[in-house]
């Protein structure tokens, strides 16, 4: 079920609801490039474990209006309004990949609201750690973004066309999938999982590449807070075969925090971890 909420700024924020309507409140923050429907991957386990899962589109993505000059530190205020709309006083947080920094800033600024915080294959503070351990495609996009932004927009349009009309076992997608680990290839060969990921990417681009790139710029900018000051307990999950974002980023980030717990898996990649280990991730968050 989709919702459209009007913020105090007058901007609209879109979100999708999954799980049990009467369940314990939880939020899911999507990756990049993706959108609210990525949380569909958690629907069944959310029902089973009694979670009411709300997945917002970030500003400029999917159903949400563009927020000009947005920073990561704007997110907690949005969360306060989103939680108030649904009547949530406290909630669990889950963020996959690009959703990780949004879990972290929410846990930092609103610790009294957070029941648990889980970051799955999370994006690192690139301005602090650098980009050497990112997938080479990401590194290329970062350099092109800085020096040839129109080229990146063109590449995203071409990528959207390939994803809309292609399949992971055919070129050019076959070429990208071929660079992933075996577990990621297995997951992306599943029509259901691939379709959810595909729809999320396409929704992230529905307002055009400029909005998608603006969302991505958040990861390149200063986050605006010191991770070592995060007092909430953060569960970091990462696969050691993740070729998109190296697990060593999560290890370094967790080492800065006084209450971080790390969970590494030996064979998982960027896509297989949140799907293969979802039950364990949710049960750990719930303390079961």
Q: Strand runs (DSSP E) across the chain, as ranges? A: 2-6, 12-19, 24-29, 51-56, 91-96, 114-120, 234-239, 260-265
Q: How many CB atoms lie within 10 A of CB 156?
A: 21
For the chain, percent of residues with pLDDT exceeding 90:
77
pTM of the model: 0.94
Give the residue carrying structure tokens 């029509």.
191
Query: Average pLDDT in the 80-96 region?
Result: 97
State yes or no: pLDDT of 248 exceeds 90. Answer: yes
For the chain, percent of residues with pLDDT exceeding 70:
96
pLDDT in tens, 120-133: 999 999 988 988 88
Domain boundaries, the chain: 2-286
Spatial separation of the C-alpha atoms in residues 28 and 40, rounded to whole Å: 10
State yes or no: pLDDT of 282 exceeds 90. Answer: yes
Under a CB-based contact definition with an 8 Å cutoff, are residues 123 and 245 in contact?
A: yes
Query: Average pLDDT in the 278-287 region?
Result: 97
The pLDDT score that the predictor gives to residue 133 is 86
CATH class of 2-286: alpha beta
Give the residue carrying structure tokens 């603006």.
214
Spatial separation of the C-alpha atoms in residues 14 and 25, rounded to whole Å: 17
Angle of the 75-86 helix axis to the 100-109 helix axis, nearest 10: 80
State yes or no: pLDDT of 175 exceeds 80. Answer: no
Instruction: Give the closest residue to 113 by CA, choosing from 95, 130, 141, 89.
Output: 89
pLDDT in tens, 193-222: 989 999 999 999 988 888 999 999 999 999
């Amino acid at each position: 079920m989709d919702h459209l909420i009007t913020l105090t700024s007058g901007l609209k924020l879109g979100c999708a609801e999954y799980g049990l309507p009467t369940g314990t409140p939880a939020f899911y923050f999507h990756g990049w490039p993706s959108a609210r429907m990525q949380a569909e991957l958690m629907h069944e386990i959310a029902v089973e474990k009694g979670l009411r899962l709300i997945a917002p589109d970030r500003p400029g993505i999917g159903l949400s209006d563009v927020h000009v000059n947005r920073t990561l530190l704007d997110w907690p205020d949005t969360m306060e309004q989103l939680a108030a709309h649904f009547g949530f006083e406290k909630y669990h947080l889950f963020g996959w990949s690009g959703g990780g920094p949004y879990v972290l800033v929410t846990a930092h600024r609103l610790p009294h609201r957070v029941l648990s915080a889980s970051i799955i294959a999370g994006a690192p503070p690139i301005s602090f750690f650098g980009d050497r351990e990112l997938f080479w495609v990401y590194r290329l996009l970062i350099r092109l973004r800085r020096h040839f932004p129109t080229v990146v927009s063109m590449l995203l349009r071409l990528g959207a066309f390939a994803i809309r009309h292609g399949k992971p076992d055919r070129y050019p997608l076959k070429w990208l999938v071929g660079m992933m680990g075996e577990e990621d290839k297995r997951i992306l060969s599943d029509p259901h999982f691939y379709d959810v990921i595909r729809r999320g990417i396409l929704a992230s681009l529905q307002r055009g590449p400029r909005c998608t790139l603006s969302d991505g710029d958040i990861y390149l900018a200063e986050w605006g807070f010191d991770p070592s000051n995060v007092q909430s307990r953060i569960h970091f999950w990462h696969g050691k075969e993740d070729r998109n974002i190296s697990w060593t980023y999560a290890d370094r980030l967790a080492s800065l925090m006084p209450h971080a717990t790390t969970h590494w898996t030996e064979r998982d990649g960027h896509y297989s971890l949140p799907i293969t280990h979802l039950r364990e991730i949710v049960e750990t968050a719930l303390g079961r």
